[in-house]
């Protein structure tokens, strides 16, 4: 069976693909703006704590379930739950993952599509005329672009096409190959931009903002937001890591891999912050809205710096590359369900699922102002949940991922036996001396922490 499902060529292939899944818009778009909103330093520290205490243990759990069963989420849970408390009902966790993959991809690829437009604008020199953040927000981002339904749909479909192409070619020839090319390129671009940002006058202030904590600015909301984001950025709670884990061989150490992936993901998020805040601080431009920094403030400041067209362009290429390796993993979760459970061939699964999600995503693309009815839908009535787009993001970030992560932690911590989990974790690793600590984290700390997110969402708070 392994042959028809596919397998990574080796450990490096898996690490690169999984890191590619983790690094995405979450790192380059969302983390910088929530760090900005939550006043830097202390929030960054809490976030790192959440990654270590909750993120890494759950990632270990997901990869473990995938490799143990060599199946994607639905099959994996239904296989491992046989004869256990709860029985087949656990396969609903897998279904929730497929639903989350579908939902997230349908709006994520809309934002990912913007990077194509912005790369084009950078190369054509159009962004060099931006005069202020408000000008960028009005002219390029809000006014002419977001509400232009045709453009939104076109870029979204282009991105879905690229994603589907990679998944179509399979684990090694598609997903792994794309990650092996794009991830090193992404690191290179990031390094060039980091060196560039270190020469700007705002570099020192950016480092202080990020790494000197002021705990008086920290709220319970920031702590839960840090945790919610750790989930999203590490691609946890919906079986993406589980699915990728089902393609690794028994000689890979799961704990080591999970740690390396999380470390790389965190490093990239921090470097992205250093770059962006240095650039912003080096000018006196006011940030008018945190969540649009990436598409308004950054190009505006670039416009005042030398060689702006080039740096702008590689910056948006970087974001596009990062987003693509993430969208691939989202589509792979949905496609692998059809391959494993419905016995579809990979071409059929990837093309069908890609087309269905792309079609549904059109509703998201049109709900940013392009179509009045789609833009007016709002489940929870907040500004950030407006439109089909806001609704999908709300459902995925607030419900699907936390509930999925909670159930995965419960399943691995309480339903799977300690002997089975230890046996799997020792394969490719040898003596796993952190096993007891990991068990405590997965049995108690992770469910309690993620449970707190769910309770606070029920009480009316939101995590975007
Ligand atoms: N981790 C990705 C990011 O930070 O952008 C988003 C993501 C990808 C979430 C894949 C979930 C997933 F399964």
Determine the average pLDDT of the residues in 270-287.
Answer: 89
Model confidence pLDDT, tens digit, residues 287-307: 777 778 888 888 888 888 777
Q: Which two tokens stand for residue 394?
A: 């709300």
CA 283 / ligand 1 centre spacing (Å): 32
* Distance from the Cα of residue 345 to its chain's centroid: 27
- Ligand 1 atom nearest the C-alpha of 239 is 13
- Asked, for residue 464, whether it belongs to a domain, the answer is no
CA 126 / ligand 1 centre spacing (Å): 31
Q: Which two tokens stand for residue 289?
A: 């809205």
CA–CA separation, 464 and 462 (whole Å): 6
* pLDDT in the model for residue 299: 86
- Ligand 1, atom 12: nearest CA belongs to which residue? 235
Select, from the ranges 79-88, 113-122, 323-332, the one with the highest average predicted confidence (pLDDT).
323-332
- Asked, for residue 66, whether it belongs to a domain, the answer is yes
Q: Which two tokens stand for residue 363?
A: 């509703």
Looking at per-residue pLDDT, the higher value among 132 and 282 belongs to 282
> Does residue 269 line the site of ligand 1, with CB under 6 A?
no
Nearest to 383 by CA among 374, 391, 395: 391
Domain enclosing residue 348, as ranges? 2-458
* pLDDT in the model for residue 338: 97
Determine the average pLDDT of the residues in 283-290.
Answer: 77
CA 430 / ligand 1 centre spacing (Å): 30
The contacts of residue 206 (CB under 8 Å, 6+ apart) are: 197, 273, 274, 277, 278, 281
pLDDT-derived band at 39 (thresholds 50, 70, 90) equals very high
CA–CA separation, 195 and 89 (whole Å): 52
Longest CA span, the chain? 66
Three-state SS at 33: helix
Q: What mean pLDDT value characterizes the chain?
A: 92
CA–CA separation, 73 and 20 (whole Å): 20
**Among the ranges given (70-74, 125-129, 325-329), the one the predictor scored with the smallest mean pLDDT:** 125-129
Model confidence pLDDT, tens digit, residues 113-133: 999 999 998 888 888 777 677
CA–CA separation, 145 and 166 (whole Å): 28
Nearest to 157 by CA among 7, 360, 325: 360
In degrees, rounded to 5, the angle at the alpha carbon of residue 417 between the alpha carbons of residues 411 and 422 is 105
pLDDT-derived band at 4 (thresholds 50, 70, 90) equals low
- Asked, for residue 36, whether it belongs to a domain, the answer is yes
The burial class, CB within 10 Å (0-12 / 13-18 / 19+), for 1 is exposed
Looking at per-residue pLDDT, the higher value among 377 and 404 belongs to 404
CA 309 / ligand 1 centre spacing (Å): 29
Looking at per-residue pLDDT, the higher value among 106 and 294 belongs to 106
* Distance from the Cα of residue 17 to its chain's centroid: 13
170: left (phi over 0), alpha (psi -120 to 50) or beta: left
Q: Check pLDDT > 60 for residue 2.
A: no
> Does residue 329 line the site of ligand 1, with CB under 6 A?
yes
Tell me, what CATH number does 353's domain have? 1.20.1740.10
**pLDDT above 70: percentage of residues in the chain:** 96
Q: Which residue has the tokens 């089909």?
A: 388
Q: Check pLDDT > 60 for residue 464.
A: no
pLDDT-derived band at 447 (thresholds 50, 70, 90) equals very high
pLDDT-derived band at 1 (thresholds 50, 70, 90) equals very low
- Asked, for residue 53, whether it belongs to a domain, the answer is yes
- Asked, for residue 406, whether it belongs to a domain, the answer is yes
Model confidence pLDDT, tens digit, residues 221-274: 899 999 999 999 999 999 999 999 999 999 999 999 999 999 999 999 999 999
CA–CA separation, 158 and 146 (whole Å): 16
Global pTM? 0.94
Q: Which residue has the tokens 């159009």?
A: 126
* pLDDT in the model for residue 142: 67
- Asked, for residue 393, whether it belongs to a domain, the answer is yes
**pLDDT above 90: percentage of residues in the chain:** 77
The contacts of residue 387 (CB under 8 Å, 6+ apart) are: 364, 367, 368, 374, 375, 376, 377, 378
- Asked, for residue 57, whether it belongs to a domain, the answer is yes
Structural domain count of the chain: 1
- Asked, for residue 463, whether it belongs to a domain, the answer is no
DSSP annotation of 23 reads S
* pLDDT in the model for residue 130: 77
> Does residue 240 line the site of ligand 1, with CB under 6 A?
yes
* pLDDT in the model for residue 242: 98
Nearest to 18 by CA among 269, 235, 332: 235
């Amino acid at each position: 069976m392994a042959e028809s499902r596919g397998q990574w060529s080796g450990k490096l292939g898996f690490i690169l693909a999984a890191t590619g899944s983790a690094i995405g818009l979450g790192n380059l778009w969302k983390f910088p703006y929530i760090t900005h909103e939550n006043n830097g330093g202390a929030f960054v520290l809490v976030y790192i704590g959440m990654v270590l205490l909750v993120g890494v243990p759950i990632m270990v759990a997901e990869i473990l379930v995938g490799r143990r069963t060599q199946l994607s989420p639905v099959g994996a849970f239904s296989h491992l739950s046989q004869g256990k408390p709860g029985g087949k009902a656990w396969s609903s966790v897998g279904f929730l993952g497929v639903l989350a993959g579908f939902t997230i991809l349908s709006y994520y690829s809309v934002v990912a599509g913007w990077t194509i437009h912005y790369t084009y604008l950078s190369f054509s020199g159009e962004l060099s005329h931006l005069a202020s953040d408000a000008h960028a927000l009005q002219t390029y981002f809000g006014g002419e672009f977001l509400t232009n339904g045709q453009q939104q749909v076109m870029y979204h479909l282009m991105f879905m096409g690229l994603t589907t192409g990679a998944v179509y070619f399979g684990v090694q020839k598609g997903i792994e190959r794309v990650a092996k090319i794009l991830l090193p390129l992404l690191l290179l671009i990031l390094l060039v931009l980091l060196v560039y940002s270190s020469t700007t006058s705002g570099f020192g202030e950016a480092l202080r903002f990020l790494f000197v904590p002021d705990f008086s600015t920290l709220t319970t909301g920031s702590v839960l937001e840090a945790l919610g984001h750790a989930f999203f950025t590490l691609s946890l709670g919906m079986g993406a890591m589980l699915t990728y884990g089902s393609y690794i061989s028994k000689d890979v150490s799961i704990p080591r891999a999970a740690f390396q992936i999380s470390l790389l993901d965190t490093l990239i998020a921090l470097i992205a912050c250093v770059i962006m805040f240095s650039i912003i601080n080096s000018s006196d431009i006011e940030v008018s809205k945190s969540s649009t920094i990436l598409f308004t403030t950054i190009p505006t400041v670039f416009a005042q710096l030398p060689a702006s067209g080039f740096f702008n362009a590689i910056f948006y290429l970087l974001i596009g590359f990062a987003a693509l390796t993430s969208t691939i993993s989202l589509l792979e979760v949905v496609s692998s369900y059809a391959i494993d459970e419905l016995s579809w061939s990979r071409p059929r699964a990837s093309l069908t699922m890609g087309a269905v999600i792309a079609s549904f995503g059109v509703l998201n693309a049109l709900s940013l102002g392009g179509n009045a009815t789609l833009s007016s839908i709002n489940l929870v009535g907040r500004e950030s949940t407006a439109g089909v787009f806001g609704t999908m993001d709300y459902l995925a970030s607030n419900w699907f991922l936390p509930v999925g992560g909670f159930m995965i932690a419960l399943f691995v911590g309480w339903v799977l036996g300690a002997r089975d989990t230890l046996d799997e974790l020792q394969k490719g690793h040898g003596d796993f001396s952190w096993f007891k600590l990991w068990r405590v984290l997965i049995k108690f700390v992770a469910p309690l922490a993620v449970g707190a997110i769910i309770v606070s969402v029920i009480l009316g708070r939101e995590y975007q």
